[in-house]
Amino acid sequence: MAFGLKNARAKYKHLVNSLFAPLIGDTMEVYVDDILWGTDANPEKIQAILDMKVPKTVKDIQSLTGRVAALTRFISKATDRYAPFFKALKGQK
């Protein structure tokens, strides 16, 4: 590394992000020390989510957003995906 060991992590992260920019968020995720290819959800592990009923009241939406808030770091572009929930909580349809 050109700047010594104290900037090695930042340099690595910048290099990997620039190298795999078209794939990040679509087919891969990059962490400081790891790269995941082709991550898929395991249907056996998420059966409770698959069987969940559609939220119909404000309280149901609040409950759902509370549950998924813990998962946002594992879901790419989570804020874009949850925008309809937040709009519904503000009184919009």
CA distances 27 to 15, 21, 40, 70, Å, are 18, 11, 9, 22
Q: Where are the beta strands (DSSP E) in 2-88?
A: 28-30, 35-37
Asked if 25 and 76 touch (Cβ cutoff 8 Å), the reply is yes
Do 90 and 47 share a domain, yes or no? yes
State the residue for tokens 């409950």: 63
Do 27 and 72 share a domain, yes or no? no
Residue 43's pLDDT band, with cuts at 50, 70 and 90, is confident
How do residues 10-26 score in pLDDT, each as one tens digit?
Answer: 787 888 889 889 888 87
What is this structure's pTM?
0.44
Residue 52's pLDDT band, with cuts at 50, 70 and 90, is confident
Asked if residue 34 has pLDDT above 70, the reply is no
What range defines the domain where residue 90 resides? 41-93
Do 47 and 19 share a domain, yes or no? no
DSSP 55: P
CB atoms within 10 A of CB 3: 9
Asked if residue 93 has pLDDT above 60, the reply is no
